A and B are shown apart, each in its own frame.
Chain A
Amino acid sequence: MTQRNRLSHTQSASQSRRQPSTSAAQEEDDDTIFTQPSSTQVQKGLEKLTAAEVERKVAEVVQYFLVKDQKKVPVRRAELVKNVVKEYRNVYPEIIKRTARTLDQVFGLKLVEIDSKNHMYILVNNLEPADGASPINSPTSPKMGLLFVILSVVFMKGGVVRENLIWNTLKKLRVDPGEKHEEFGDVKRLVTDEFVRQRYLEYARIPHTEPIEHEFRWGQRADAEVSKAKILEFLGQLFEQEPQSWSQQYKEAHSSQASSSSQR
């Protein structure tokens, strides 16, 4: 299950941690206050700072991204500026450029803006999962196994599925969304809240249904991080079938594979 390793590559053995308490509305406000400085403003700002000062700030921003990435929470530009960049906001573009370069060159992680309207960032691993097993078992979260199952179902069903299908699939695996699971806790919350906040899944209401129904899609992080070709390979092994036999999915996996690797 190298895919699982990859998914939780930088995940520490994390459990319930304090959540940032800033409300969304508050952050909206900050975001409108913060306007991207122009390149001449940045140039002027940089002239007033020493190279060491800029380097130190970049280091702080890099650390901030790494800490957030452990919990797989996207970073909003507004909160980044408010909590870390602070008085360096006038040289923000330069800071973020150098941060991206460091994350890439030193840590093998790519800084991706997943939402250009709300300015959210995530880190995506540049390194493909190794074919041979690593001698060091990184602490993989069992939650990632569950996520992999859900992503597989959504992908095989054409990219969008009604929630009932997911719940029924999980029940077959003895994971009942209505019961407290010993490993996953509140399964419904994990799937519809935590995975959604981490941008692994999208969970949206289907319009005009009575009673209310929801559907699942892949989230932006899954698009960026999870290889569809690997999913097919895995299912191929599971069902003893050639991945090519799912022709539609195979085509999609290998066209999206090409586009995502050309971005690298």
Chain B
Amino acid sequence: MSRQMGDSHRRFLQTMMANGIIDEQGAKALYQHCCEVHSTQCAADRLDDFIEVINSKLQPMFMQIRKGMSEVTGYQHYALVNMAETDITRMSSDYADNELELFRKTMDLIVGSENGTASSTDILNSTDSMTTKKLKKSETEHLLSRFVQDNWLSEKRGEYTLSTRCIIEMEQYIRKMYPDQVKVCYICHNVAFQCQICEKPTCGIKIHNPCVARYFKGRPDPHCPACEEFWPHEIPEIRRPRSQSRR
């Protein structure tokens, strides 16, 4: 198999650059589309090989297309990430210093919370302790919506979470910055924010909601996979992929 990049790879990469993140279904469809446009061979199960060719050329540029799971839906996604600076300085061309400080504070709140969320009220209050130029309430609200629009945060009913793209891109940074707070999912071993927690204090393992759904499927009497304690949380349903894939 050819390891050289062709126009089909370039078209795929350009779409990744324009979108930042694409879910697995979308990536498969895009792969097929790019192969059709440039009349190259396309084997449905070869997406990861196709991306590997792109990654081998991106590596000297400290960029990579990386795979990760959405904590909400459990679907796999592909994100184009920048590894040159795996920390927040990656965002520094788009945001001012005080805006980055607010992002860090939001991340502190989310990582420090049990369920991986931070309320808009708590974020607004955190601006009181800013060391750089303080942000006004309206500025903070506007900035938060920019973080959502630029795909760093997700928002639902005033609760902010780290977006899938943010987790894929910043996983290493988060692990480095919050070594004591970050926990990995007991099932998939990736960092876990939005998750369920074993209520036995000596255990306290975390499992992503979609991983909970998969692991406990068909088990009427759920117990913690680590300590055997009864699992008291509601077991979510496994989400079915939509027929038309969009982010």
A residues within 8 Å of B by Cβ? 8-13, 15, 17-18, 55, 58-60, 62-63, 66-67, 102, 105-108, 125-127, 130-132, 134-139
Contacts and interface: CB of A to CB of B under 8 A. Distances in A.
Nearest to B54: A106
Contact of A59 (B5, B19, B60, B96): B60
B48 interface: no
A115 B229 CA distance: 71
Contacts of A10: 14, 17-18
Contacts of B42: none
Given A17-B94, A127-B10, A134 B5 contact: no
Given A17-B94, A102-B61, A132-B37, 4 more contacts: A10-B17, A12-B150, A105-B5, A136-B29
Contacts of B33: 130, 132, 134-136
A58 B84 CA distance: 13
Contact of A108 (B14, B22, B60, B94): B14
Given A15-B146, A127-B7, A136-B19, A108 B13 contact: yes
A264 to B, nearest CB: 12
B18 to A, nearest CB: 4
A42 B10 CA distance: 31
Nearest to A16: B146
B20 A12 contact: yes
B7 A108 contact: yes
B11 A127 contact: yes
Interface of A is mostly: loop
List the 9 shortest-distance A-B pairs measured between CB atoms, nearest first: A108-B10, A135-B29, A138-B18, A130-B37, A59-B61, A106-B57, A136-B30, A136-B15, A135-B33
B243 to A, nearest CB: 13
Given A132-B36, A135-B26, A62 B17 contact: no
A135 B14 contact: no
Given A106-B13, A108-B10, A136 B61 contact: no
A108 B6 CA distance: 9
Contacts of B14: 9-10, 107-108, 125, 127
Given A59-B84, A135-B30, A13 B7 contact: no
A22 B4 CA distance: 41
A98 to B, nearest CB: 10
B61 A63 contact: yes
B149 interface: yes
B132 to A, nearest CB: 15
Given A11-B18, A59-B84, A139-B18, A106 B30 contact: no
Contact of B19 (A18, A127, A132, A139): A139
Interface string B180-204: 0000000000000000000000000
Contact of B13 (A12, A18, A107, A132): A107
Contacts of B146: 15
A107 B11 CA distance: 8
A56 B11 CA distance: 25
